[in-house]
Chains A and B, each alone.
Chain A
Amino acid sequence: MSDVPVLREVTGPTALGGGRRRALELLYLLALTDFKRHYVGTALGYLWSIARPLLLFGVLLVVFTQVFRLGSEVPRYPVLLLLNIVLFGFFQEATAAAVTSIVAQEGVVRKTQFPRLVIPLSIVLTGLFTLALNLVVVFAFILAFGVDPSWTWLLLPLVIAGLTVLTAAVGMIVSSLYPRFRDMAIIWAVASTVLFYGSPVLYPIEKVPEGLRQLVMLNPLAPLLELARKWVVDPSAPGPAAAAGGAWRLLAPLAVALTVCVVASWVFTREARRIAEEL
């Protein structure tokens, strides 16, 4: 201990209380343990995590190529469907897990000095680990399907980065509100189903009628999925700018995304101070 201790103001719990470095280390450890808990503890481990999107993919592929003929009209539809399911699945699963995450970590929140932000972010990071593994399978499938490798594949991390920011922001909102409003879990379950159908996951954006397309393109997930499609699956796809009807129209989903981020940081900072008392 130093000879003359420096008194520092204690301001109570915050989103990143305890310093950035500690928060980062805790984030890494928490995500790692969460990942291990999911995949090391179960008999088939990682297989379960890829089995879910693959099963969903199998069912949807049959429905949309055999029952509805939509899939047959889209070039490389199976590949597109699988990529979309894996990307959207990351968003959906991470946000769903984030809802109850702070309540699930009640012990550390109420009994230790813990940077609150780390909890939802660790869920997102765990989701990213899983996504990375799932993408290996996706790319194996893409190559097997006969899609030629392209340099634009290397741009996919940009899409994932955007998706991660959005996922984290939504995760922050739902996780910090859940302790006070317990029906957040149900609300978010419904909302994310709406988003599933409201994003170009099952269908490509150009199949949406003009008026409705503007609405779908407000959803920030839409341009991200369309970018991934153009870069990875089908270079001849219209891409988000053309789908929106001009690059300037992309300002709308961008504004929506920015609003979500601002709301997330405002809500989380506000709730972080009192979350231990609400549990």
Chain B
Amino acid sequence: MRISTPADDATHEVPARRGLAGAPVVIEARAVHKSFRIPEHRVDSLKERAAHPLRRIEHRELRALHDVSFDVRSGEFFGIVGRNGSGKSTLLKILASIYRADAGRIRIAGRVAPFIELGVGFNLELTARENGVLNGVLMGLSLREARRRLDAVLAFAELEEFVDLKLKNYSSGMLVRFAFAVMVQADADIMLIDEVLAVGDAAFAQKCLDVFHAKRRAGTTIVLVTHDMTTVQTLCHRAMLLDDGALRFIGEPEDAALRYYQLNFGREREAPAPGGTAGKVVDLNVRVVHARLEGGTGAIVERVEAGRPLSLDVLVEAARPMRRPSLRVQVRNHEGLVLIDFTRVLDAAVASGGRMRLRGQVENRLAPGRYTLDLYVREEGDDGGYTVQGLRLLQLAVDGERDGDGVMAVLADVDAELDERPA
């Protein structure tokens, strides 16, 4: 979920973690397994089947989930985090009865509504009224209830006067507002939310956040799949870390976030040291003094024009002495894809209270959109292991006209012309 959560937000609440331990379990997953069979060469015609009836189709087993067990309690805001391909979205789809688990047992109490994509099942040829009712039923409401709530939905989306307009005549902004309003109307007992839901502008992201806060206060159980640690730490009561289909950690969101950062950072060092001390998750007690773009406003979300270099200015302070730390900067897009990644080793000893600075220009080929800048501070240990801490530096909005779906904005010196030479 790409949501800005300013730390000085007056309404910001500290998750009440202890209060939920006694609440009844509403999701119980035991030893859930799931694999996908990927054919080595796709046989999707009967002719190929008929031509080689005896040949066994070679399948590659892709392990999506392996022996995952957990409980979610009533009223809990539960985060599922992990890198791309870690199995978190598959798990959400299994909870939502979209996929079937190969083995294991899942029990759920109450009505479940999955929120995986905005506007699923919309028919652009139909009016907002018709789509609203259809989607309400899709979200688990009865037909009568969906009709009854339509007015509230339209009011929430501020689209009352467009109720009989076909969706194809809606602007994209109106469409997103309508789709979101339709989704949140379904007050299921358990909401299963995928992060890809919250695309769109900052104002819309804020609105999503407000709704999630409200649902959370109202005691709705929410399972959120995300790779945004800021959201996990501000919203979740508990979080679970998946990696390569296996459960790696379940507990406090801060710990889950730390381990997630560590996982991202230590990816290329797969073999653990003999002592088993590889990748210790230790809070290095580094804090950000400031992180900004020169010429920027210093706001939580920095804005920069497409193509303009990022003048990075980051100052961090170590609370304990460090030897030769490395500073790694990563820029990710809203899908969690790492687009910029570089490491600078500070070849010196840092004293307790010492400050480290990263300054300079970074070429900016980012396509217009929203990005996050993270810093990973890492220190090698004597025994071949290391410790690492992840820090969110800032969120970045790159302004400009998008041309297509590319993740990069590049100069394309390309012309289309009629070729009139004889063939």
Which residues of A are in contact with B by a Cβ distance under 8 Å? 1, 4-13, 17-18, 21-22, 25-26, 28-30, 33, 36-37, 41, 105, 107-114, 180-184, 187, 273-274, 276-277
Contacts and interface: CB of A to CB of B under 8 A. Distances in A.
B98 A110 contact: yes
B281 interface: no
A112 B109 contact: no
A37 B36 CA distance: 36
Contact of B47 (A11, A113, A183): A183
Contact of B138 (A4, A36, A112, A274): A112
Interface in B123-163: 123, 125-126, 130, 133-134, 137-140, 142-143
A180 B44 contact: yes
Interface in B92-130: 93-101, 105-110, 112, 114, 116-117, 120-121, 123, 125-126, 130
A13 B123 contact: no
Contact of A8 (B108, B116, B117, B137): B108
B121 A112 contact: yes
Contacts of B25: 7
A28 B189 CA distance: 26
Contacts of B133: 29
Contact of B28 (A7, A18, A33, A187): A7
A113 B107 contact: no
Contact of A113 (B28, B74, B96): B96
A106 to B, nearest CB: 10
A182 B112 CA distance: 33
Contacts of A33: 123, 126, 130, 134
Contact of B121 (A22, A41, A108): A108
A139 to B, nearest CB: 31
B24 A4 contact: yes
A227 B299 CA distance: 78
Contacts of B116: 111-112
Given A7-B109, A10-B108, 4 more contacts: A7-B26, A25-B137, A107-B121, A181-B49
21 contacts: A1-B74, A6-B109, A7-B108, A9-B106, A13-B97, A18-B97, A26-B138, A29-B133, A29-B137, A36-B125, A107-B121, A108-B120, A109-B98, A112-B139, A113-B140, A180-B44, A181-B44, A181-B49, A182-B44, A183-B47, A276-B98
Contacts of B126: 33, 36-37
A212 B376 CA distance: 80
B106 A10 contact: yes
Interface of B: 24-26, 28, 36, 44-47, 49, 74, 93-101, 105-110, 112, 114, 116-117, 120-121, 123, 125-126, 130, 133-134, 137-140, 142-143, 189, 219
A183 B45 contact: yes
**Which 10 A/B pairs are nearest by Cβ-Cβ distance?**
A12-B100, A5-B109, A7-B107, A10-B106, A111-B116, A25-B143, A108-B121, A111-B120, A183-B45, A113-B97
A183 B99 contact: no
A112 B134 contact: no
A37 B97 CA distance: 29
Contacts of A183: 45-47
B137 A22 contact: yes
Contacts of B94: 10, 12
B95 to A, nearest CB: 7
B406 to A, nearest CB: 24
A18 B47 CA distance: 36
Nearest to B109: A5
A55 to B, nearest CB: 25
Contact of A107 (B45, B100, B117): B117
Nearest to A274: B100
Contacts of A273: 100
A113 B112 contact: yes
A13 B110 contact: no
Contacts of A30: 134
B134 A29 contact: yes
Nearest to A37: B125
Given A22-B140, A29-B137, A8 B107 contact: yes
Contacts of A112: 96, 98, 114, 116, 120-121, 138-139
Nearest to B44: A182
B123 A9 contact: no
Contacts of B189: 1, 5
A182 B45 contact: yes
Contacts of B100: 11-13, 273-274
Contacts of A5: 24, 26, 74, 109-110, 189
B125 to A, nearest CB: 5
B120 A12 contact: no
Contact of A181 (B45, B97, B140): B45
Most buried by B among A7, A112, A180, A183: A112
B207 to A, nearest CB: 21
A238 to B, nearest CB: 39
Contacts of A105: 121
Contacts of B98: 13, 109-113, 276
A17 B96 CA distance: 11
A111 B137 contact: no
Contact of B143 (A4, A29, A108, A187): A29
B37 to A, nearest CB: 9
Given A12-B94, A29-B143, A36-B130, A277 B36 contact: yes
A19 to B, nearest CB: 9
B52 to A, nearest CB: 14
Contacts of B138: 26, 108, 112, 114
B120 A107 contact: yes
Nearest to A26: B137
Contacts of A107: 117, 120-121
Contacts of B108: 7-8, 10
